[in-house]
Structure formats: structure tokens, C-alpha cells
Structure 1
Amino acid sequence: MVEKSMFSKDFLFGSASAAYHFEGAYDKDDKGVAVADVIPHSPEDGRTEKPEEGNLKHRAVEFYDRYKEDVALFGELGLKSLRTSIAWTRIYPNGIEEEPNEAGLQFYDDLFDELLAHGIEPVITVTHTGEMPLYLADNYNGFANKETIKYYLKYVRTIIERYQHKVKYWFTFNEVNISGMQPFFQAGVSQDPNTIDETVIAQIHHNMFVANAEAIKIIKEINSDLQVACTTTIGPIYAMSPKPEDGLQQYFDTREMLFHTDVHVFGEYPKWKLKEFKDKGIEVDITEEELKILKENTVDFVAYSYYQSGVAESEAEEHIGDVNVISKRKNPELEVNEWNWVIDSVGLRLMLNIIWDRYGLPQFIVENGVSKLEELEKDENGNLTVNDDYRIEGLRDYLLQVNEAIADGVEVIGYTNWAVMDFVSGSTGTMKKRWGFIFVDYYDDWTGTMDRYKKKSFDWYRKVIDSHGEYLFKD
């Protein structure tokens, strides 16, 4: 193992968030209703017809009203970057308006100015999971309908023209490769789930490929210096056994997992996917002009969430290139956390190398972290905190593997762990799944002071950043 920091002085050590997770103020200053506002719990539990009481995301942790004090904390943490998103419905409440909402635009101007004043580079997702205007979902069927693309692109043009001199790094979508698994939450597809077959899923993916490429075209035309990617969620997949059949399945599952990134980077569908469409009778509405747009507008770097690895088994009933599904078959060599997610820090180094060898592009790890059930406790000085040594240990293990990958020759732009502070979980719709360096005194029954408390990991991460990674090697 490398015994020194390989992180460059301009490495974007940071942390991550997203608008619907922490802003709250879901109907303030003319904000429209978003998809997340009608998903009160887990996306798997379905939606409500309209926003109803009990959805924690409506209040979230009040970042919209507390952003100045929170950004001051982020500055104290020493962040070099903060990944967050712009809430689409703050800019175009229903998605179809002729003119954008100035109050929403001004909020992000103020937020980005505040971040920059604290030396924090904004790293921005155009639209995060769950942030599509509900009007576009219910009236246009989201990205199952090509009409939605034009409204998305109008929104893209508006925010890029406004913030091009404040934000350099942009992500068109978040974890776009799981849109087929969560079509309403990820892509605003509101049709009866029972009618969403493989053809519909393929069309959703295609329409989002086109939207991504068209967005890149617009962004580059406005300011060619801006850097653009589209995030996916990925992780390495191991063969369950030395059997050749398991090795073959591992290859197929990995290929499926990287399908979206292949299209983003190479600008074309791989031949195996087109054959799969043909063999299954999947007919996707794809035009020659769209294929040209894909080819001419590819990503500048590869951005992804890394949470866990998976295993492939030839005799398994289900084969799909998503580690959150594949990891239901547990790797006997690895531990799992409370949420039954596999813990695999070495897999991050492996993934970094796989991506580097396959694409030769810089990488940005935009989500990765440690979540736990946590409660406030007193430290040796009587101050309220959380003694989250497990988070320190977990993040240290991940960052040491990133350091190893850089030593391997991989180019890495930055690392924004999930998450900068506690907020409402996307997968559970609760506060109890806590990820942050900052504890927020707020709970699933809507009680709590909303006060912020630094966890033990807060000081540790600050030292890691201040030392450009050297502190990782301290006992």
C-alpha cells in the first residue's frame, strides 16, 4: 500500500447533498410541486395523488431558510466543493411556464455566492432524482414522452446562462441508470406501473440519453469551458465462484451495469444492446438525428455513486447490471451494514481502475458514504455530538483506496461523500438513516429543535482536507 498522499493540491475534497433531501420550503416563493413531494416514504411504497401531511421532505432540514449558517459550517469543515442540485420546480414550477421564477433563480445565485465566499466550489446536478415537476409527470408521463425533453432543455438553458460563471462542474441527471427500476421517482413516468414493460423502459432510457446529449450541446454552446457528466450508480461485480459459467455471467452483468456510461462516453449504443432489442422484440423510437446528437455530444468525465459491490451467479433467477439488485446475493467474504448493503472499500479502487481502463477519462466520485442509526451523546467536554468512529474508519478506508487508484495512474477530479449533513433519506423517506458530518436534531415524528451539531467525523474530515490527504495516514 502507498504510504503517502497522492491527492493533488487542487483535488476537490467535498461532500454531497441534493435539493429535495434538505431544502424543505416545498411550496415557498412560488415553488411548484415535484415528484418527491408526493412520495412520502420509500419510492417502492408508491405515491400520493397530491402532497399530503407526513412527507418529511416538505420541511426536510430547512436548508432553504438556514443556508447561510449551514454554509458557514461547511466552510468550517473546510470543504473544497459541495455537490447539490437545483430544484427544477423552483425555476419552472410546472415545467411549462414561459418565464422562469425569479425568486428561485435568486436563491441559487445567493447560495452559490455564499459557497464561493467560503472557498467552496459548487458542483451542481441539473435535476436530481425526484425533482421533476409533478405537472410534467402527470400530464406528459415524464421521460417516457419525448415532449418532456424540450421542457428539460429550456430549463437547462435558463440555469446555465444564469450560473455559467459561478459553476464549472455540471451533472445532467443523477443515477440515471436506475430509471428503469424506479420510473416515477427517477424519470417522472406516471403511467400504471403494470404497463411499464421492457420496451417502455428502453424508451425512457433512450429519451434520457437524448436529453443528456442535447443538454451537453447547449451547455458547451453557452460556455465551452464548463465540464459536464451524467451520474450513474455502479460498483464492481465479482463471480460467485471460480466456475467459468459464473465468470461469464459476471462479464454480462458488468456490461449491463456500464451500458449507460458506455453511451454517455462513446456516444452510441453497444452492438450487444441493439441485438438484445432485436432478440426481445423491443422497438424503440430512435431517429438518425438522435443518434447523431448522441455521437456528437459526449461527457467530459465520468461521475458516479459508489456504495457497494455485487456478485454474479450463473444459476441465479435474476440477472441485471445493477449492484443494488445483484448484491441481494451476498458476497460471503464481505460484511453488510444495517441496511443490508455490502461494505467493500477495495471495490472502489477496482471500479476506478475499470473505468479508467475502459474510458480513459477523469473520474468524479459524487456519492459514497457510511450511514447509521445515531443519537446525540456528550463528549468528554460535555458537548453534544455523535462519536461516529465507524464513519471515520469507513471513509478513511474508501479514501485510502482512492489514493491507491491515483497511485495506479487513475485521474480523479474529486470526491463528494454522501452526505454533508443529516437529512431526509431518499430510499426510506426518513431521518433515521443518517449519513452526515453534522447531526440535525430532527426526527421521523417531526419533533426536534433543528439545531446542528458537529459529529466527531467533522473534525477528522477537516484535518484530512487541510492536509491534502496526509492525515489519512495518521494512526
Structure 2
Amino acid sequence: MFPKEFLWGGATASAQYEGGFDEGGRGKSQLDFIDFISVEKRIGNQCTDDVSWERYKTIRENESEYNLPYRRGADFYHHYKEDIKLMAEMGFKVFRMSISWARLYPTGEEETPNPEGLKFYHDVFDELHKYGIEPLVTMIHYENPVHLTEKFNGWESQKMISYFVKYTKTLIDEYKDKVKYWITFNEINATLCTPFVSSGMFVEKSQKNKLSCEYQALHHQLIASALTVKYAHETAPQCMIGAMIARLECYAETCKPTDVLANMIDDQINLSFFDIMARGSYPKFLLNYFRDNDIIIDFVDNYEQILKEGTVDYLAFSYYMSYVVSAEPGKAEAPGNLVKSLVNPYLKQTEWGWGIDPIGLRITLNRIYDKYQLPLFIVENGLGAKDVLEEDGSVHDAYRIDYLREHIKAMDKAIDDGVELLGYTSWGCVDLCSASFADMTKRYGYIYVDADDYGNGTYNRYKKDSYYWYKKVIESNGKDLD
């Protein structure tokens, strides 16, 4: 049985959802320069977030020639009242959203925040509270002011810490009476896979090797997070502030000890960010990994005390699929990499090759809770698919309902196992730009947005079949899953 106070809701990100990139005094983020690449023009498994310095410069100098979907999102900026009303009709208890750093500090270097940006988020929070919906706010969801990318190479620079903490102190001071639940960094471990998206930097511009550059940026983010958490605890003790990772539940390809060991190392790397943010120190296995892989980190002065004083209140994660790990040459992949190529033959695959594994969610909930004994929050989970808007305005997405139903059953079993689970916000509750290809073709929402990959469409909202199904789930507190 789900707890009476369980927080049911949905999740979005400002860069993928908000739009209004040139309104209200907002500056540009590095994601505003990710271009859509059609299926016909993609090279292999090329994702739109694979942005090199040379490609970035080309887009920057010729913006009008490119399709830049993150600038549009799903236009929440102009539809927020309508969207929040639809969420309220579904029965949402919580809505996960993020703040656009560049909307408050257009370049990141301003001394004071943009008043129009502050007001917009006040208006959003007030609208949510009007319907009794609790905001769950991610302070940064892959979205850095692009000025800081160009001037400092993003999070590779220690200077990013002070700019970020100025920004997060503004958030806490401004909204602490309207927002109880916070997350500092979205999927902080994503830098190991997409350094441009997650850290606003180009590894080819660094003097360090690739892994050193990535872990240097992560060190700066971990310090910035800890300083933010400490400030929140001191000035807003009524708030809860959490850490978030992209969770990879991995299985050894075989029972060969070498495969099992490789799987253990991958799991250690994936959870190491929780070790640092929840326990307040770098685990020895991670320091050994640095030593064995020529990873050189310039540690911030007094970093050990900073991490110890800034431990989080709960642990949040995204979960979409599980992976397979092998130690065999030719199959072995970098530990911590968020996308792995080996296919699990025991799982059904989505249209995008993601293994559907609800049992893996139960396993991961138990594994994380057993290790840290902190409350958990599933803040992303869902099925991306090509939905079809029928002539009568309906969208029949039984495949999404099937996916969500089985994952909610797994959550129920994990709660019965003894896991303390605060809530569940499924990803992209209103259709938004998919992170894989910056497209609208791959949809996750309960609410269909009439927009295509090129910004064509009315941007009208339509309820999918899953909308009515999820409403029943929330009304019954997880009992009615039919």
C-alpha cells in the first residue's frame, strides 16, 4: 500500500518544456545551441547532444540557419496556467520543474537577478499552490548560461562554484516559503556521458585528459551542491534538499567472476555520487579509480569539510531501463557511462532500444535504500513513443499505460519490502522536447502538445488515454491500475 501522503505527479525541465527563450529578459543557455538533426541525416546513433566546439561555433555564428527546438520547448511560458489546471484535474500532488538559470541571471555574472524572471516563477508557484500542488524544483537541469560556457569552459572552471551558489542562494531566499522540495543538480553523473549538455563544457578545449576534465567538472558541481545544501539547512530548515542521479541498474552478462566484478565497479561508480552527497566524502574505491585511470583532480581548498557539512536529506533518481555489463574485450564499456550497448535478451525493448525492466526498479529501490537509509524519490520514469493524435482529439497510448502500470507495481512491492519512498513524478507529463534528439516525435506525456520537430502546430493540449488512467491511479492512491 502506498503511504497516504505519497506524492504523485509528473516531471519536466525548463530547457525542454518552458520556451520563451527571448522573453522576460532571459539569457541563452548552452542548450539553446543544440540543433535538431532529422533521422535521415543522423550518422549512426548520433545524438543531438554530441556537440563539439567546432559545431557549436558554427551554430553560434549562423543561428538563423538551424532548427533549435529547446528554444521553443512546449511553450509552458505562455501555457503554464492551462497546463497546471490540467495537472490539477489529474490530481497531481507534486509537480517537478526546473528553473532556467539564464532567466534569473542572463549571463551568470550579474550581481542581482532579473526581476521579470523572479516574477515568472512566483506566478508559476502561486498557480500550483492554488490547486494544492507542491512544487519540486530542480535548481539546474542541464542548463548553464552560455556566457559561462564561452568564458570559462563551463564547469571545468572552479569559478562556476561562486556563480552557481549566488544563483541558488537567490532561489532559496526568494522561494523558500513556496517550495519545500529541492534538487540541486539533475542527473549529476550525466557529465560522464554528455559533458556539453550536463556541464556546459568542451573536453577538447581542456588541458586535461577526457576523464580528468569530466571528473574535475563533477568535483566543482559536488562542491557547489554541498555549499547550497548547507545554506538551505541554515536559512530554510523547513525545506528538504536532495541529490539526483541517472540510476543504472546493471546485470553481469554472465556469472563469470570477471563479469560480476565489472558489474560491481559500474554500480560503484554510478552510486559514488550518492556516497559523496549523502555521506559527505569521496569513497576510497573512487579515489583508487582515479589513481588507476590517470584521473587528476585539482581539489577545492577545504573540500572535505565542505562535503561533510552539505549532505542531503533525500535521494532522487531517474529510472528508465537497465543495462548489461561485460568484462570481455570488445564488449567492456566505460564504468558510469549512461548508455550501454549490450542487449538483455530477457527484456522487451522500446522503439528506441531501451530495455523495459520494472523488476529492475524494485531491485534498484531496495539496493539504494539498503545502502543509504534515506528517503527516496523517483523523479523520472516513463515511456517515449510516437503518439498519434486522432481526428477527434484523442490519443490512444495503451503501451504507455502498460509500461507505467508495471513500474508502479514494482514501486508498491518495494514499499512493502521496507523502502521509504516519498513520491513518483513520471517524466514529461506534458509532451516536451526529448533529450535524445531534441525532438517532439518521441513523446512521454499524459498530455499531447500539437507541435512537431520544426515548431509547426497549434501547441494546443489534448488529453491522452493515459491521462484518464493516471487520474484513477492517483485518486485510488495506487490501488486502481486497470
TM-score by length of 1: 0.94
CA distance in 2, matches of 1:234, 1:312: 14
The correspondence of residues 128-139 of structure 1 with structure 2, limited to 5 A, is: 128-129=141-142, 131-139=143-151
Counterpart of 1:3?
Answer: none
**Which residue in 1 is equivalent to 2:25?**
30
Question: Within 5 Å, which residues of 2 pair with 1:321-340?
Answer: 321-322=335-336, 324-326=338-340, 328-340=341-353
Q: What does residue 311 of structure 2 align with?
A: 298
| 8 Å Cα contact 1:258/1:321 also seen in 2 | no
- Number of aligned residue pairs: 462
Give the alignment of 1:155-166 within 5 angstroms: 155-166=167-178
How many angstroms apart in 2 are the aligned matches of 1:154 and 1:213? 13
Q: Structure 1, unaligned stretches of length 5 or more?
A: 1-5
- Deviation of 1:316 after TM superposition, in Å, equals 4.3
**CA apart distance, 1:323:** 6.3
Alignment of 1:8-407 (within 5 A): 8-41=3-36, 42-46=48-52, 47=56, 48-49=59-60, 51-52=63-64, 53-129=66-142, 131-190=143-202, 192=204, 196-287=209-300, 289-317=302-330, 318-322=332-336, 324-326=338-340, 328-378=341-391, 383-407=392-416
The question of whether the paired residues in 1 share the 8 Å contact of 2:95 and 2:136 is answered with: yes
Give per-residue Cα distances to partners, 1:285-318, cap 9 Å, x unaligned: 1145111110121111110000111111120443
1:330 aligned counterpart, secondary structure:
coil
Distance 1:279 1:391 in 2: 43
Percent of aligned pairs sharing the same letter: 40
Aligned Cα root-mean-square deviation (Å): 1.5
**Which amino acid in the other structure matches residue 119 of structure 1?**
G
8 Å contact 2:318–2:378 — kept in the other structure?
yes
Question: How many Å separate the matches in 2 of 1:77 and 1:71?
Answer: 10
1:23 deviates by 1.1
Which residue pairs with 2:479 in the alignment? 470
| Contact map agreement 1:234 1:323 (CA 8 A) in 2 | no
One-letter amino acid of the counterpart of residue 224, structure 2: A
Shift of 1:62: 1.3
Q: Distance in 2 between matches of 1:371 and 1:189?
A: 28
Name the aligned partner's letter for residue 228 of structure 1.
Answer: I
CA distance in 1, matches of 2:182, 2:232: 9
Confirm or deny: 8 A CA contact 2:203 2:214 kept in the other structure: no
Query: Counterpart of 1:214 in 2: which secondary structure?
Result: helix
Aligned in 2, Cα 1:24/1:288: closer, same or farther, shift over 3 Å? closer
Superposed displacement of residue 70, structure 1: 1.2
**CA distance in 2 between partners of 1:276 and 1:455 (Å):** 47
Equivalent-residue separation in structure 2 for 1:316 and 1:336 (angstroms): 25
Measure the CA separation in 2 of the matches of 1:332 and 1:316.
20
Q: Deviations over 1:5-54 (max 9, x none)?
A: x1111100010001111111101011001111011231115532264441
Which whole-Å deviations, capped at 9, do the CAs of 1:429-455 have from their partners, x for residues lacking one?
A: 111010000011111132211111000
Q: Which amino acid aligns with 1:168?
A: K
Map Cα deviations across residues 410-431 of structure 1 (whole Å, 9 max, x no partner): 0000000012111111221111
